[in-house]
Amino acid sequence: MEKVMFNEKQPDYRYFKLPNGNADVFIYEYIGEEENTTDDGNTYTEYLYNMNQFCCNQNEITEEMIKENFNKFLNYDTSKEEISISDRLDALESAVVEMAGVIYND
């Protein structure tokens, strides 16, 4: 989890489905906002959030799970998970098939 600032308010989460069956997930916890002034005197608002970003398997962590309890995933860490040899082989096989499609469809 890290603290980040945005120029616009953020949703509670973003869930991006990827073609390989994974999903990129962004969780946002609103902390507050700050009014700032530019060098020429204009003011603007920055929104401060705690944010976590991770990649997961869409079948293991669904968007519905995130939607129901997004705060549960604010400290979620995928680096602790071991990737099985079977999952690695599946990923490699998918990558080879995808590359072959690009090479031979030109």
For the segment 29-54, the average pLDDT, to the nearest whole number, is 94
| Percentage of the residues of the chain whose pLDDT score is greater than 90 | 64
Predicted model pTM? 0.69
Q: Does a structural domain hold residue 96?
A: no
Helix (H) or strand (E) holding 24: strand 22-37
Q: Does a structural domain hold residue 46?
A: yes
Instruction: Answer whether 9's CB lies under 8 Å from 17's CB.
Output: no
Instruction: Answer whether 25's CB lies under 8 Å from 38's CB.
Output: no
Rounded to the nearest integer, the mean pLDDT of the chain is: 88
The domain of 52 spans 2-78
Indicate the number of domains in the chain. 1
Q: Does a structural domain hold residue 95?
A: no
Nearest to 66 by CA among 31, 16, 4, 30: 16
- pLDDT higher than 80, residue 87: no
DSSP type of residue 105: T
**100 token code pair:** 């072959």
Instruction: Answer whether 74's CB lies under 8 Å from 57's CB.
Output: no
Q: Does a structural domain hold residue 50?
A: yes
For the segment 3-29, the average pLDDT, to the nearest whole number, is 94
17-64-85 Cα angle (round to 5): 55
**Helical ranges in the chain per DSSP H:** 63-68, 85-104
Q: Does a structural domain hold residue 83?
A: no
Q: Does a structural domain hold residue 71?
A: yes
**71 token code pair:** 């705060």
Per-residue confidence at 85, pLDDT binned at 50, 70, 90? confident
